[in-house]
Chains A and B, each alone.
Chain A
Amino acid sequence: MAEITVQPVLLHGASKASTSSRVRSEPLWARVLLIGIALAFLTLFLFVPLGTVFYEATKKGFSTYVSAVTDPDARSAMKLTLMAAAIAVPLNALFGIAAAWAVTKFEFRGKQLLITLIDLPFSVSPVISGLIYMLLFGANGWFGPFLQERGIKIMFALPGIVLATIFVTVPFVARELIPLMEAQGKAEEEAAATLGASGLETFLRVTLPRIKWGVLYGVVLCNARAMGEFGAVSVVSGHIRGLTNTLTLHVEILYNEYQFAAAFAVASLLAMLALVTLVAKSLIEWRTSGEH
């Protein structure tokens, strides 16, 4: 790198020392500019907000922070968020594996349609998807009277929150696995079949070990989205404090009540969950790149 720094006017390209490195990469000013833009962008939109969350959360002292986080409503919101994720993520992992398996190992009519449908939640606004569930299962919805007669509560309760969360996180695992399994092809599965393995044996002994890191990666992303979901859950939850408030909704309520320190304290919990997710994701990436 040293030879580049003595080169203020690279455009004239007189130096012999830096010729080889200049052939291979962009000129210095372009690199500095590009990296600078990226860093400035990241700082402005990521690091500053993240810092603000923790700063605002602890501004009024540590005890305020602790009491906001351990408040019964906050704890129940935490519990609800974790529970919704704990139900939605495994279900979507199962669905994602099944869908990717079907799409990549078999030929059938409507395959393209299935792939498009898997992507649908990405293109529909979460609020709209919440509204759809409302129209289906709400008191005045299609199935509302039927459910009411039998005392089944879906909207403004855990089932509705889980349904909304599942809907918005459907694509994550499948989207992660389809390209991976497509690249792997099906020769190994065919080899297993000629050797006499059943479909289940083939899946457990051949397919699953080859896609396990992909599944985990998809699950981590899916989990991040499940815990951070706001729009869809906001519509179906009913905002009942201590009962149907998830962490994100709890933050909103606190904020609207001008309890800024408390709002940021709870938000910092979400931020920490996100950071844990990031670390997990990096670990998986590091692990998989080491494998091949």
Chain B
Amino acid sequence: MSIKIEKVSRRFGSFQALNEVDLEVGTGELIALLGPSGSGKTTLLRIIAGLDVQDSGRVFFHGEDTSSTHVRDRHVGFVFQHYALFDHMTIFDNVAFGLRVRKRNPRLSSSEISKKVKELLELVQLGHLEKRYPTQLSGGQRQRVALARALAVDPKVLLLDEPFGALDAKVRRELRRWLRHLHDDVKVTSVFVTHDQEEALEIADRVVVMRAGGIEQVGTPEEVYHAPATPFVYEFLGDVNQFDRDQVGYARPHEIHVELDATSHDSIPAKVEHVAARGAVVRVELSTEADAKLIEADLTHQRLQELALVKGQRVYARPTALRTFAAAAE
């Protein structure tokens, strides 16, 4: 099931949440809507679901205009940030809910429902918890129940609103990987909203970077990370150093070469402010001698040993790659 969004706009009072947004999602794709809060990503997701209505523009599911289709007839699976499980029902009844209320398909018999619910709970690895209530489960387990519940009705499209936003970092990483695998198995067209660039880059087929109600760039994780279309995308997708020359140039911390002697006219004299050996790489904070601007550089542990950096030492920072944008862009 493909999704096409055509010139969709939405206002809330004086706030323009979406401004003529166009987007196409291919069948079976996993798409991330990435952006800071207020960029319109959740509004767009809710409009696709039919939980919110656009002021103008149209949404097509597989070429069919859904603008006048009620949310319950759109066959979307929606996963909420705070799970939105039915707390007064058991896990089993939560997952069975959609199967029991569906009218148009010939209604399933209770043994068929039971079989399907058990399959889904196995899929999300929670088969042993079917008699529990949501409040007895951890956040990660609840979100998996929510996912099983959404998948129960065989949705044409799976929509996830910050699905891991309420979970702690470790569970979030696990669930993220798990969602990617699930998507590879189930192959349902999926759109998820996130403000976490790592999450978007790690699991999405394509990333849609949003800003102030519009789309800045659409591309594969490699494209948006390595070839950002605008300074905003560049800054949003990771740490960045900014250099003012004739034009504004940008370089990521791993693209900064730290040396003890100036090797080219690009080398910038700077002072070591802080060295943090924080895992696979070493993050070094420098401040330029000219105007005390912060430069962040990532070094290997080996390189750090070669340089034997100490706080306050004078070094040179040389960007090995510098990306420039037209000056008017920002």
**Would you call B72 and A198 a contact (CB within 8 A)?**
yes
In the assembled complex, which residues on chain B have CB atoms less than 8 Å from the CB atom of A210?
A: 87-88
Per the bound structure, the CA–CA distance linking A209 and B103 in Å amounts to: 22
Interface residues of A (CB under 8 A from B): 187-188, 190-198, 201, 205-206, 209-210
Total number of B residues with any Cβ neighbor in A under 8 Å: 28
In the assembled complex, which residues on chain B have CB atoms less than 8 Å from the CB atom of A193?
A: 51, 71-72
**Would you call B97 and A194 a contact (CB within 8 A)?**
no
CB distance from B86 to the nearest CB of A (A): 6
- Our count of residue pairs bridging A and B at CB distance below 8 angstroms stands at 66
In the assembled complex, which residues on chain A have CB atoms less than 8 Å from the CB atom of B72?
A: 193-198
| Chain A contact residues: helix, strand, loop or mixed | helix
In the assembled complex, which residues on chain A have CB atoms less than 8 Å from the CB atom of B150?
A: 194-195
In the assembled complex, which residues on chain A have CB atoms less than 8 Å from the CB atom of B84?
A: 187-188, 190-191
With A205-B86, A209-B88 given, name 16 new contacts (CB 8 A): A187-B82, A191-B80, A191-B84, A191-B146, A191-B149, A193-B72, A194-B71, A194-B78, A195-B72, A195-B101, A195-B152, A195-B153, A198-B103, A201-B101, A205-B101, A210-B87
Closest to A187 in B: B84
**Would you call A194 and B86 a contact (CB within 8 A)?**
no
In the assembled complex, which residues on chain B have CB atoms less than 8 Å from the CB atom of A194?
A: 49-51, 71-72, 74, 76-78, 150
Closest to A194 in B: B78
In the assembled complex, which residues on chain A have CB atoms less than 8 Å from the CB atom of B78?
A: 190-191, 194
Interface residues of B (CB under 8 A from A): 49-51, 71-78, 80, 82, 84-88, 97-98, 101-103, 146, 149-150, 152-153
**Would you call B97 and A195 a contact (CB within 8 A)?**
yes
Per the bound structure, the CA–CA distance linking A205 and B74 in Å amounts to: 21
**Would you call A195 and B86 a contact (CB within 8 A)?**
no
With contacts A191-B80, A191-B84 taken as known, whether A197 is within 8 angstroms of B71 at the C-beta atoms is no
In the assembled complex, which residues on chain A have CB atoms less than 8 Å from the CB atom of B149?
A: 191, 195
Per the bound structure, the CA–CA distance linking A195 and B100 in Å amounts to: 10
CB distance from B110 to the nearest CB of A (A): 16
In the assembled complex, which residues on chain B have CB atoms less than 8 Å from the CB atom of A196?
A: 72-73, 75, 98, 101-103, 153
In the assembled complex, which residues on chain A have CB atoms less than 8 Å from the CB atom of B80?
A: 187, 190-191
